[in-house]
Amino acid sequence: MVLLKRLPPKGKNMLVIGTTSEVDFLESLGICSAFAVTYHVPILRNEDAKKVLEQLKVFAEDDIEAAAEALNNDMPIKKLYMLIEMAVQGPHGGSAEAIYSGKEKIDITHFLECLNDIVRPY
């Protein structure tokens, strides 16, 4: 908290970006008042998630719809990027470079397994 309120050295600028899903907790600690702007990012709906997945170009065209539908209309963008990062590693690791270069695509079965790992059962 002290570091958030400290001014940067003269002639220097500072940009601090904080993300949370627990705004009430940060407000109770008095941290929110240290930020000049608060911006709410809505949870992604299937159509939005599909657009993100299309832009990333990490899925086969046939798998994009299934991947978006599996998210059940309630995936925050930060969690979606974490899920994608988990999935590009592949089931045995080391696939990320091939996927990001476009030589390979994320296996939909592995993506669904990663999704199952991060979704809390209710």
Distance CA 77, CA 63 (A): 19
* Claim: this prediction has a pTM higher than 0.75: no
Virtual torsion, Cα 66, 101, 41, 114, nearest 10 deg: 50
CB 60 within 8 A of CB 105: yes
Q: CA torsion 54→59→65→67, rounded to 10°?
A: -110
Supply the pLDDT for residue 120.
61
Determine the pLDDT at residue 61: 94
What confidence score (pLDDT) does residue 72 get?
86
The interaxial angle of helices 46-56 and 61-70, nearest 10 deg, is: 140
Percent of the chain exceeding pLDDT 90 equals 43
Average the pLDDT over 59-81 and give the result.
91
